[in-house]
Amino acid sequence: MEDTYGNLISSLVTENDKRIVLLVMDGVGDCDNDGNGTALFQADTPNFDALARKSALGLSVPVATAVTPGSGPGHLGLFGYDPLIYKVGRGVLSALGIEFALTPRDVAARLNFCTLDDEGNVTDRRAGRISDDENRRLLVKIRERLAPPDGVEVLLETVAEHRALLVLRGDGLDDNIGETDPQAIGVPPLCPTRPPHGDLKTAKIFEQVAGQIQKILSDEPKANMILARGFAKVPDWPTFARRWKLNPAAVAGYPMYRGVARLVGMPVVSQPTTAADICAETAQALANHTFIFAHFKYTDKTGEDGDLPGKIRRIEEMDAALPTLLEAKPDVLIVTGDHSTPPSLRAHSWHPVPVLMSAPHLRGGDGPRFEEISCRSGQLGTVHAKELIPIAMAHAGKLEKFGA
């Protein structure tokens, strides 16, 4: 599938010194919460609301209508890469996030440590969010006892908390392997060799590895198994800088999001996690870059935990920190999310994501607030996430006229 739209925009790009910030409040979108309004609606956000009254509002579709996106596709869309064309598994993003050097002989997967009951059913997909130290201890135990299949190296690294990276390294490996995470509790892990993966060499290799790991961890009280997602080999794509003629940088504290930035050649200049530090580091990075991707994780984390009050608090934390970023005077500021994560679902969802864009050459402000109801009637309309970078660049004077 050819990226006709992306290639067109890339051909129109012209360089200037205007600066663009993409502030991603991960999973910020929400549902109505039994008539009480979304998390954004319920939050006290005087700074976002004041900005909304002089900004453009709208909604973003991360991938396609009714499609629930993973974090990788969600961010690739925000970077202007059509996620229906540029596809990559989460394993590669996890590897890049911890600066693990992948080779063409590698297949990477993201692992979750999980808890199984005596019947072999998943009772906790995150093993109680174990600590990084516990994660490292478990990986040492696995490395010491695992007997890799002939001709294959099995490499394991800690990512954070319950998350780890697995890399199979060898000749002739592919990434056509069934994910084992059922993304539900009360059911067993999925089989990596289930149809249509049953006769495939690499799927069978991973099945052997997963079986060994289950035996090795069988005496653990909490993290007694692993779940695997996002098997992938590293792709060869045009870099963000070459595609958009921007000097980019990422301000991202979590490995996954550092990984998706590095996937498109975007250097990570800072790794903060709090709203205050993210805004301060983004403002500082603007002195040397024309594009900053700034990532805030906790709006997604609270959504996945079903913690609506927590999600509201996290939004309010970012609102309180926002003036620090605004003082740096970015020429264009986009505030949005990579997907919606309603606490009522405890998971990513298909709902369009609210968008705020502060920029020159608008048709007035949309206000009165930055929340889903105001956004659905804003001047941006409902657009695909892949269109947000081009819209920002147009407002920054970075796109030439098309045609005579």
Rounded Cα distance, 23 and 11, in Å: 26
Joined tokens for residue 287: 């002195």
> What does the pLDDT look like over 124-166, one tens digit per residue?
999 999 999 999 999 999 999 999 999 999 999 999 999 999 9
Helices (H), 305-386: 308-326, 372-375
Contacts of 217 (CB under 8 A, 6+ apart): 138, 141, 142, 223, 224, 225, 226
Q: State the Cα–Cα distance between residues 238 and 241, nearest whole angstrom.
A: 8
Hey, what amino acid is at 271? Q
Find where tokens 């921007």 sit: 246
Query: Does 253 have pLDDT greater than 80?
Result: yes
Report the alpha-carbon distance of residue 128 to residue 109 in Å, rounded: 21
Could you report the per-residue pLDDT of 65-124, keeping only the tens digit for each? 999 999 999 999 999 999 999 988 889 988 988 989 899 999 999 999 999 999 999 999
Region 279-293: mean pLDDT is 98
Quote the tokens at residue 33: 């919460």
**Which whole number is the average pLDDT over 214-223?**
96
Q: What is the rounded distance in angstroms from the CA atom of residue 373 to the CA atom of residue 365? A: 15
CA distances from 152 to 167, 201, 242 (A): 10, 12, 36
| pLDDT tens by residue, 65-77 | 999 999 999 999 9
Sign of the dihedral through C-alpha 359, 360, 363, 365:
positive
Between CA 274 and CA 280, with CA 279 as vertex, the angle to 5 degrees is: 100
Distance CA 262, CA 213 (A): 30
Q: Which domains does the chain have, with CATH numbers?
A: 15-87+236-395 (3.40.720.10), 94-232 (3.30.70)
Beta strands in 26-185 (DSSP E): 56-61, 106-116, 122-124, 153-160, 163-169
Taking the CA atoms of residue 286, residue 288, residue 291 and residue 294 in that order, the dihedral angle to the nearest 10 degrees is -50
Q: Is the peptide bond before 196 cis (omega within 30 degrees of 0)?
A: yes
Q: What pTM, to 2 d.p., does this model score?
A: 0.82
Q: What is the pLDDT of residue 283?
A: 98
Beta bridge partners of 399: 13
C-alpha to C-alpha distance for 137 and 57, rounded to whole angstroms: 47
- Amino acid symbol at 242: R
Cα–Cα distance, 205 to 149 (Å, whole number) = 7
% of the chain exceeding 70 in pLDDT = 100
Evaluate the omega torsion of the peptide bond into residue 342 and state whether it is cis, within 30 degrees of 0.
no
Residue 224 has pLDDT above 80, yes or no: yes
Contacts of residue 394, defined as CB under 8 A and 6 or more positions apart, other chains included, come to none
Q: Residue type at 284?
A: Q
Closest to 360 in 3D by CA, of 322, 336, 392: 392
Structure tokens at 101: 């050097």
